[in-house]
Amino acid sequence: MIKVTNLTKKFGSNISLDNVSCEFKKNESIALMGANGAGKTTLVRSIMGYYHPTGGEVLINGLNPIKNRLDVLEHISFVPQLPPPIKLSINELIEYISVSAKVDKNLMKHYANEMKLDINSNLHKSFFKLSGGMKQKLLIAISLAKKSNVIIYDEPTANLDPKARDDFYRLLKQNEEDKVLLFVTHRLEEVKDLVNRQIYMDLGKIVSDERF
Amino acid sequence: MKNLLLIAYLDLKESIRAKWFVVYSLVFGGLIALFFIAGVTESQVMGFSGLSRLLLMYIQITIVILPIFILVTTVRSISGDRDSHVLEYMLSFPISLKQYYWGKVIGRFVTVFLPVFFAMVIAVIYGAVKGAAIPWDIFFLYTGLLFAMSSAFLGIAFFISSFVKSSEVALGLSFFIWIFLLAFIDIALISLMMQERMSSGLIIFISLINPMEIFRVAAISLFDPELTVMGPVAFYILDSMSQTVFVLVSIFYPLFLGLIFAFLGYKIFEKKDLV
């Protein structure tokens, strides 16, 4: 599904990814780990097509994420580590996603309810005015409603209370079939029950890759 | 097309809710209100009176403040979204870069142009209610000039926004461009003219490729077709082209300039790392 071949990404003289090769297949749940500056975020951003590689290539279902942006992103859900300060109201954000990614609005509301987020009473509130946990819950609900083949979570539980984490794990278990789940995390114990592969990065390289 | 209009619509809604938009609208609306309170329409200076006098003053002030307002509020449009990681999330959905960028341009254009335009409309309506004669020709030509100047600075702002990494640098660049076009370039050209190092024609040409300068001269030419207040420079301009052609150039040149800059900005946005 995702094939990374000899991927190198430099920012000036700083090498963020150094000749990285890996492959993520259907039904794999991967914990992508490593210290700060190891290259995890750069790898994720390269997969999403945000970065132009200095060398090598990334293919998602055989497609280049920069040249075939729309086709590739149709199959990817992404939740960032920190919810961005989007000034749109929740209603407008849902409208944006519904039109651009053809995601069913009711499904987004359904998953928001499953995450115990009362979306209807907050529809006209700006997204950035929600609490950290509420924002994260909404982004998780959107990622699940999108029904993508590839779901990328960057520290998804950072803002969630224990109850919300349980809801998140439960929903993820129900939706993991035939997908690639990629978790960028510092704490393996948080996603241990969900993952079947662990990749450790350091200084822009993959230093260990274990399946279990 | 649907996505383009969606982005434009959402950007427009977001801008209208922003505090800067309230200040922006109050400044231009307040200017017109101030002119009426100060009795500008009743005064007569250099032969201009009534609404013509008011519009002349409005346009002179607009030349100074509109570009900086557009630059400061727009220059952070993409660079600010990039800075705050909003771009990273919004572009994780299948929306083309073309639709995202041009949608933002359209949304922002409507936001910056409408308050300036409506302030003029309010002036005309209020003037009509007070029984003043409405100078329609000047009103329509000013609308064209404001449209063109808004386009020019919006294009420049999006161009800066596309390559600058942080909002602070974008703001700094905006101030530099504004003061450069407003004053520095004129001071430099005046000193060159005094030293007679370059031909006067070339100096006037350089001066007129400045969108602020061409807007200023075109605005004057609407009241003073012979450009007598400008002295000998008027001969250079009006010997090269008629007043009608000059006004048309004053509208289409900044419009074209804005489109070129916006297009260059898009090319950079497309080719660079997005976040």
Number of domains in chain B: 1
What domain range includes position B79? 2-271
Q: Is residue A140 a contact partner of residue A132, using CB atoms and an 8 Å limit?
A: no
Q: Band the pLDDT of B46: cuts 50, 70, 90.
A: low
pLDDT at B44: 58
A150-154/A180-184 β-pairing:
parallel
Buried b (16+ CB within 10 A) or exposed e, B12-24: bbbbeeeeebeeb
Q: What local confidence, expressed as pLDDT, does residue B45 receive? A: 55
| Lowest-pLDDT choice from A35-49, A83-97, B80-94, B192-206 | B192-206
Closest CA to B274 of B44, B68, B87: B87
ipTM of the complex: 0.95
- pLDDT-derived band at B56 (thresholds 50, 70, 90) equals confident
Run of H or E including A27: none
Q: Mean pLDDT across the stretch A35-61?
A: 95
Q: Residue B3: pLDDT band by 50, 70, 90 thresholds?
A: confident
Is there a contact between B273 and A70 if contact means CB atoms under 8 Å apart? no
The verdict on a CB contact (< 8 Å) between B10 and A76 is no
Closest CA–CA distance from residue A212 to any residue of chain B (Å): 30
Could you list the beta-strand ranges (E) of chain B. Answer: 44-45, 48-49
**Quick one: pLDDT at residue B148?**
95
Min Cα separation B81/chain A (Å): 9
| Residue B136 burial (10 A CB sphere; 0-12, 13-18, 19+) | exposed
Query: Are B92 and A76 inside 8 Å of each other by CB?
Result: yes
What's the pLDDT score for residue A136?
Answer: 93
pLDDT bracket for residue B249 (50, 70, 90): very high
pLDDT for B40 equals 65
Name residue A15's beta-bridge partners.
Answer: A10
- Measured distance CA(B266)–CA(B146) in Å, rounded: 23
Please report, rounded to a whole number, the percentage of residues in chain B having pLDDT higher than 70: 96
Kindly identify which residue of chain A lies nearest to residue B2, measuring between CA atoms: A99
Least confident of A146-150, A197-201, B52-56, B97-101: B52-56
Are B75 and B162 in contact by the 8 Å Cβ rule? The answer is no
Q: Distance (Å) from the C-alpha of residue A146 to the closest C-alpha of chain B?
A: 10
pLDDT for the residue B87: 94
B94 vs A71: CB contact, 8 Å cut-off? yes
Predicted confidence (pLDDT) at residue A160 exceeds the cutoff of 80: yes
Please report which confidence band the pLDDT of residue B43 belongs to, taking 50, 70 and 90 as the band edges.
Answer: low
- Whichever domain contains A207, its CATH number is 3.40.50.300
Q: How many domains does chain A have?
A: 1
In this complex, do A99 and B85 lie within 8 Å of one another by their Cβ atoms?
A: no
The mean per-residue pLDDT over the stretch B192-207 comes to: 78
pTM score, two decimals?
Answer: 0.90
For chain A, give the longest Cα–Cα distance: 50
Say which range, A46-50, A169-173, B131-135, has the weakest mean pLDDT.
B131-135
Q: Look up the domain containing A72 and give its range.
A: 2-211
Question: pLDDT value at position A153?
Answer: 94
Distance between CA B263 and CA B271 in Å, rounded?
Answer: 12
